Structure 1
Amino acid sequence: MKKTNAIGLNETDALQLSNGLNDLLANYQIFYMNTRGYHWNIKGEKFFELHLKFEELYNNALLKVDEIAERILTLGYNPVHSYSEYIKMAAIQERVNVSDGVQAVGYIVESFKTLISKERELLQLSAEANDEGTNALMSDYIREQEKLVWMYSAFLARK
């Protein structure tokens, strides 16, 4: 018989999910710092519009960082909590001194593509593990971010 954790999930599944969530956490932390930098450094014609949009993004990312870390704890594991680890783990690259709005939005869309891909993997894993908590979280994130990709891509006039 398989061992279960405190919330009734298979321990092996919970470990796999927590590892995936830690990877997602690392990517969100880099995304958070990048959008914070875009907010601080943006210049040009769309300054006022983008300055506010980037603030919305980093505030939203900060909430997700906390939710992801707390989900990892709920699964019975520890969230990674050092930037040196985040940089090693994350697929999203650090972006430094980006002041061009179009370039920043392009990086945001690229980052969302990475985040959504990782969230879809976790959605599948959590469904297979019967982990409704992680599944609902990922489903909510994906739905929200797909709309943001559409909106930011429209800003870039992408098809």
Structure 2
Amino acid sequence: MSKIDIGISENDRIAVAEELKKLLADSYTLYLQTHNFHWNVEGPQFRELHLMFEEHYTELADAVDEIAERIRTLDVAAPGTYKSFAALSAIEEVEGVPEATEMVSLLTKAHEQVVRTCRTALSVAQEADDESSSALVGDRMRVHEKTAWMLRAMLPR
């Protein structure tokens, strides 16, 4: 491949890509968690949660591809193994199968974590004057903020 020259210094490209790797890892971990809950949810809200979780993991599947491709656009290798995602993600794995309300609570917290990861990545991308990464991260942040709000609305006060 020829040398990259997109108007962002190598140091800035690497710094942005490192933050995007964390966002990718969080997003993939959340994808797996959501898919797991989709398969295993039970109870009176089964149908509603089963369908909602499917909507969420389908959206996340597209997101991880977009994030990984942005990392590649910055000329950095995207992580792609469970081991690398586990090392990079701030979202903790869930053992066993929680009950439905706990699933909603755990997913709410995970989406909020992704928002916090986005905020850090956005700051680094803005500092690097990387509008493309900033736009991507801003879009992801909005999705996760809205999803967390919708999940929180399902929880008892």
Q: Which category of TM-score, normalised to the shorter sequence, fits these structures?
A: over 0.9
Alignment of 1:10-49 (within 5 A): 10-49=9-48
The two structures have a TM-score, normalised by structure 1, of 0.92
8 A contact 2:20–2:67 mirrored in 1: yes
Deviation track 1:59-104 (CA, whole Å, cap 9, x = no partner) reads 1111111011000000010000111111122110112432521111
Residue 5 of structure 1, CA deviation: 4.1
Task: Give yes or no for the alignment of 1:109 onto 2:108.
Answer: yes
Which residue does the alignment assign to 1:9? 8
C-alpha distance in 1 between matches for 2:44 and 2:7: 54
- Deviating above 3 A after TM superposition, structure 1's stretches of 4 or more consecutive aligned residues are none
Aligned mates of 1:75, 1:127 — CA distance in 2: 15
Distance 2:40 2:64 in 1: 23
The 1-side partners of 2:75 and 2:96 are apart by: 38
Whether the 8 Å CA contact 1:42–1:101 is kept in 2: the answer is: yes
AA at the equivalent of 1:8: G
Paired residue secondary structure (1:156): coil
The answer on whether the counterparts of 1:37 and 1:97 sit within 8 Å (CA) in structure 2 is no
Residue 154 (structure 1) aligned with residue 153 (structure 2) = yes
Equivalences for residues 119-158 of structure 1 within 5 A: 119-158=118-157
> Amino acid of the residue matched to residue 60 of structure 1?
E
Greater CA drift, 79-88 or 64-73: 79-88
Sequence identity, in percent?
36
1:100 aligned to 2:99?
yes
Which consecutive residues of structure 1, in runs of 5 or more, have no partner in the other structure?
A: none
Deviations 1:27-51 (A, max 9, x none): 1111111101000000000000000
Q: Quote the RMSD (CA, aligned, Å).
A: 1.4
Q: In the alignment, which residue of structure 1 is the partner of 2:50?
A: 51
Q: Secondary structure at the match of 2:94?
A: coil
Given that 1:35 and 1:54 are in contact with CA atoms closer than 8 Å, whether structure 2 keeps it comes out as yes
5+ residue gaps, structure 2:
none
The answer to which of 99-108 and 35-44 deviates more is 99-108
For the residues of structure 2 that align with 1:139 and 1:87, how far apart are their CA atoms? 24
1:67 alignment partner in structure 2: 66
The amino acid of 1:40's aligned partner reads W
